[in-house]
């Protein structure tokens, strides 16, 4: 694993990537791999000055580094090729950040995509993805979403009996390609809200019902069950649970053959964590893939089975560390002997994770990266909500209104969970690469906020 970057000076410099190898794992760094200081003591990402980007595109601003995202995609794909003797496929869990540009990038790196709604599916298709590489998840897919996926030729990951029976009742010209999601009963240390592998989960079939499920599918000529799926959670630093998952899934795989089902794929989900603070120490992408592959290979060898096609669904560890969010700092308030507040022009509408998951982030002042961190402050958002706190007890230099604050590792679940709370317009997002900045999401306008409002005639003045 990569050790915490050396704290040579107590300043924003300490957060810059310090690769220990020629192929650093992006999930082990707080800032994108291209982050550096320029001659003005400003933070650069993707060869672009963050202060200049805010001046050009406004704030709040999501800044996505293309090299970091591509590096993570390549590391996953290459690691599976190295450690798994059979066929493999990496698919991006796009709920982390689903937009056309991100979908297009991961597809160009040879990845498939996992979607969890008709909207995410439509976006992936608009980005040009091959429907055969798209997998539709969800515990309560609507009939229209199912029909949309079937029409496009996607694989549907079936979550429950209601969905399975609904699919069996549909008729068409070709079999419906499905995978079954089962709950493995494997515990891991992560937030309760993102733990999905325990038996007490809203996701997946109960494994005690597996033979009943297999029997039902074997009697449905319209259903082609090609694989099995399981996922144990998110933001996980442990390797053993993912290794153990292989043995559990191979047991299910063996039973499927007894019912004549053409199960040839095992999808072990994702879940590898990223570094949000200096104390976080996640495994590298390479280490995670090696553990997963070893678990499947050992389990198959013990049963004398031919290796199935192995699928993984990383999301956060692909894109989380590739993005930073830039804000403009505003008002300040000192509560004597209690707390000092500094505010930014965003908050819970562009990053709801602190108020939702009590998530912790790190920040730096992008226009004075080498300044000594002399103050402990609470970074507050601008929303009319006492809980709108971006970071409690943050270490920052003395700041002033107009400074550009950068919050790190905001690529996963920030834009995708963003809202219009207080009728704030959602931020713009840009893609940076080798000194070029491209707009990938336009900033919403006030007109966008009222675009779907309707005023009854009797209320019009």
Active site residues: 384
**Rounded Cα distance, 134 and 140, in Å:** 18
Sign of CA dihedral 48, 49, 51, 56: negative
Which residues have CB under 8 Å from 437's CB, separation 6+? 46, 48, 53, 56, 57, 430, 431
Residue 6 and residue 19 in contact, taking contact as beta carbons nearer than 8 Å: no
Contact assessment for residue 41 and residue 369, using Cβ atoms and an 8 Å cutoff? yes
Strand partners, 45: 48
- Please state, in angstroms and rounded to a whole number, the distance separating the CA atoms of residues 218 and 153: 21
- Type and span of the H or E element at 113: strand 112-115
Torsion of CA 192, 193, 197, 201, to 10 degrees: 100
Report the alpha-carbon distance of residue 44 to residue 436 in Å, rounded.
12
- List residues bridging with 400 in a β-sheet: none
Strands (E), 301-427: 309-312, 323-335, 339-344, 363-365, 375-380, 389-396, 404-407
CA 27 and chain centroid, separation: 11
- Nearest 5°: the CA angle 77, 79, 82 is 115
Task: Enumerate the β-bridge partners of residue 439.
Answer: 430
Separation CA 280–CA 115 (nearest Å): 28
Q: How far apart are CA 40 and CA 371, in angstroms?
A: 12
Instruction: Output Rg (C-alpha) for the chain, integer angstroms.
Output: 23
Separation CA 303–CA 1 (nearest Å): 33
Q: How far apart are CA 447 and CA 159, in angstroms?
A: 39
Phi and psi based region of residue 378 (left: phi greater than 0; alpha: psi -120 to 50; beta: remaining): beta
Q: Is 332 helix (H, G, I), strand (E, B) or coil?
A: strand
Write the CB contacts of 259 (distance below 8 Å, at least 6 apart in sequence): 211, 214, 215, 217, 218
CA distance 104 to 212: 40
Q: In this structure, what token pair is assigned to residue 12?
A: 């924003």
Q: How far apart are CA 255 and CA 280, in angstroms?
A: 39
């Amino acid at each position: 694993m990569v050790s915490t970057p050396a704290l040579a000076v107590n300043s924003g410099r300490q957060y810059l990537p310090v690769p220990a190898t020629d192929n650093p794992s992006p999930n082990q760094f707080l800032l994108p791999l291209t982050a550096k200081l320029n001659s003005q003591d400003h933070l650069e990402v993707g060869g672009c000055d963050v202060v200049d980007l805010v001046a050009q595109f406004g704030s709040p601003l999501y800044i996505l580094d293309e090299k970091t995202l591509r590096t993570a995609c390549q590391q996953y794909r290459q690691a599976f090729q190295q450690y798994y003797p059979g066929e493999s496929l990496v698919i991006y869990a796009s709920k982390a950040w689903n937009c056309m540009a991100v979908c297009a990038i991961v597809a160009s790196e040879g990845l498939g995509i996992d979607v969890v709604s008709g909207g995410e599916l439509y976006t992936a298709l608009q980005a040009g993805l091959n429907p055969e590489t798209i997998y539709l998840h969800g515990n309560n897919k609507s009939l229209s979403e199912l029909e949309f996926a079937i029409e496009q030729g996607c694989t549907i990951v079936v979550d429950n009996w209601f969905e399975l029976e609904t699919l069996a009742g549909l008729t068409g010209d070709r079999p419906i390609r499905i995978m079954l999601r089962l709950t493995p009963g494997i515990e891991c240390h992560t937030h309760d809200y993102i733990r999905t592998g325990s038996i007490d989960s809203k996701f997946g079939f109960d494994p005690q019902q597996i033979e009943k499920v297999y029997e039902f599918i074997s009697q449905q000529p319209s259903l082609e069950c090609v694989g099995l799926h399981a996922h144990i959670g998110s933001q996980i630093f442990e390797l053993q649970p993912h290794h153990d998952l292989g043995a559990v899934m191979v047991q299910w795989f063996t039973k499927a053959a007894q019912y004549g089902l053409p199960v040839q794929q095992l999808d072990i989900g994702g879940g590898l964590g990223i570094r949000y603070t200096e104390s976080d120490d996640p495994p590298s992408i390479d280490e995670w893939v090696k553990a997963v592959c070893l678990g499947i290979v050992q389990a198959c060898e013990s049963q004398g089975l031919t290796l199935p096609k192995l699928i993984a669904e990383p999301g956060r560890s692909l894109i989380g560390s590739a993005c930073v969010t830039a804000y403009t700092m505003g008002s300040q308030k000192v509560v004597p002997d209690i707390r000092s507040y500094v505010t930014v022009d965003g908050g819970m509408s562009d990053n709801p994770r602190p108020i939702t998951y009590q998530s912790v982030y790190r920040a730096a002042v992008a226009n004075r990266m080498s300044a000594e961190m002399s103050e402990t402050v609470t970074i507050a958002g601008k929303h009319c909500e006492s809980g709108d706190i971006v970071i409690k007890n943050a270490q920052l230099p003395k700041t002033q209104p107009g400074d550009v604050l950068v919050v790190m590792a905001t690529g996963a679940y920030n834009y995708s969970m963003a809202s219009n709370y207080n009728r704030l317009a959602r931020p713009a997002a840009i893609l940076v690469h080798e000194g070029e900045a491209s707009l990938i999401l336009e900033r919403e306008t006030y007109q966008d906020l009222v675009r779907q409002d309707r005023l009854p005639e009797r209320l019009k003045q």
